[in-house]
Structure formats: C-alpha cells, structure tokens
Amino acid sequence: MAQPPKSVKPLIWMGSSKKDLIALPAAVGDVFGYALFLAQTGRRHEHTKVLSGFGDASVLEVIESGAGSTYRAVYTVRFETAVFVLHVFQKKSKSGAATPKPDMDLIHERLKRAGELVKQQELEKRRQERP
C-alpha cells in the first residue's frame, strides 16, 4: 500500500549547485532530481549514502554514473526548515571512491553558510513575532 504523502520541505540551492545540476546529462539529472524530492519528504533514494567527515548523518550524497562518468549530488537534512543542496559535481579524481579535497572543502563552506542562513531566518522570524 502506498504511503500517504508527507509535507514537502523547500529546497535551497547553495552556490552554483542548481546550475551544475542542470548541466548534467539528463538521465543523471533525473535521478538527482528524484533523490532530492525524496529528501524533501523525509525519505532516501537507494543511491544515497551518508557522506563522512561531518560528525553526523545529516550530510548525504547521491552517486550516479552516466555518460562514462560518475556524478555526485551532496545535500543536507540537518536543518528543520529546508533541504539544502550543497554541491553537484562530476567526480574526476582518480583516488578511488573518496570525495576530492577541493570538493569536500566547498561542501564544508556551503554547509557553514547554510547554517548561517538558517540562524538569520530564525532571528528575522523572532523579530516579526514581537509586538
């Protein structure tokens, strides 16, 4: 039996992640789009795994192969208000399955910025609630 639909969290694109997703091969973009929709409803795509190095299981990556390459979409469900898409890229490193350091640095930077945005939104909401 199908599960009832859950509420859908907004999707917030950090940096160039949306532009990067649009530039991917169509089949890969379709998989990532569906995976992000599942994340918005509190579910997880079968190609999703926890990205290590962030202290908890709230930063995830979807891995998909297509057109002879491997692609990744990294997002976070750390915040209650939205799903933040942190980075979308073609993996070019020859260092096995590890995410290359420049990409990890960018993900860390965008995650920090997402946290700052959430704090800013919370402050603005509190200001508006005051009489």
Give the predicted TM-score (pTM) of the model. Answer: 0.88
Backbone region of residue 62 per phi and psi (left: phi > 0; alpha: psi in -120 to 50; beta: other values): beta
Q: Would you give the distance in Å from CA 100 to the centre of its chain? A: 17
Which tens digits make up the pLDDT trace of 5-44? 568 999 999 999 999 999 999 999 999 999 999 999 999 9
Query: CA of 45: how far to CAs of 41, 79, 98, in Å?
Result: 11, 19, 20
> What's the average model confidence in pLDDT over 105-130?
92
Mean pLDDT of the chain: 90
> What's the average model confidence in pLDDT over 117-126?
90
DSSP 96: T
